[in-house]
Amino acid sequence: MHKILIAGSIAFDRIMDFPGTFKEHMVADKAHVLSVSFVLDSMKDNKGGTAANIAHSLALLGEQPILMASVGSDSTAYIEELRKRGIDVSALQICSDVGTATGHIMTDTENNQISAFYPGAMSTVYAAPLPAADLCIVAPTNKVDMLRLARESGEKNIPLFFDPGQMTPALSGDELKQCVEGAAVVLCNDYEWGLIQEKTGWSEKEVLKYATALVITLGAHGSRIVTKQAEETVPALTVAAVDPTGAGDAYRAGFAYGFLRSWPLVRCAQLGSVTASFAVEVYGTQAHTPSRLDIEKRMHAQYRTGLDF
């Protein structure tokens, strides 16, 4: 078992389904007076947040990740649930005067999403320093924490996974560069990679002057793993998808599991795809509960290889 630090959000998610496509309701030359309303098919409240989602899938794989995040006074039951799943919650910072972060996520029939996010306790700067660890994953949270923890991981020689996610628009080009320069692996989706390029002016080649790998997820089209030596694409698994929310976080958990065992990066991505496949089969970001054996069986069936214990 490895010591994995995960900094990011812990949140309550309200996940909603729209039985049409967003683009049908958008008028290109009226964006300056945008006023749209969507009638939903369903709405469910779930426990989520980038850090907790990644930790959930790592725990399914047999790890005991350590959450480094701020939560509100309404988080007692959520914290206890995380603890029961084998996640280390001892380093959480509890803010008694504010609620836990809350996300509202609406998905259309083409799996496009519109989100609104109230940061709540996530806006509170996390006070504790990074302890020694085998890996630090810096996922979307407040900007101050992301920059400090990315810097501290470098100072303490802890391999860093930098995952700017939904915070990519909020980070300046210089701030993104600062985090990339200290990262072992940079993870983002295709849209976020476009923003990173635009803000930093860096190409893939320039990112790889610092990072070992650039991993770009492509939704249903899988992921690209780019290194100095090569580029490979790993397809997503074909499953009966119910809800894509949280699939990227599950992918990151699988990738981190393989990375810590020095697997070839393509194999890390394959486990990421397998882990993500369980997440999309159910509604919610932490509703998938396959056993470690279930994950290994699917990994072997897809790629003729299992997990290294």
Q: Is 45 a catalytic residue?
A: no
Backbone angles phi, psi at 217, to 5 degrees: -85, 145
Catalytic, out of 13, 17, 163, 249: 249
* E runs forming strands in 83-184: 93-95, 101-107, 113-118, 135-138, 160-162
Cα(16)–Cα(42) distance, integer angstroms: 6
What single-letter amino acid sits at 91? Answer: A
H or E, element range at 291 = none
Q: Are strands 11-17 and 223-226 parallel, antiparallel or unpaired?
A: unpaired
What does the DSSP assignment read for 203-255?
-HHHHTTT-SEEEEE-GGG-EEEE-SS-EEEEPPP----S--TTHHHHHHHHH
Residues with a known catalytic role:
249
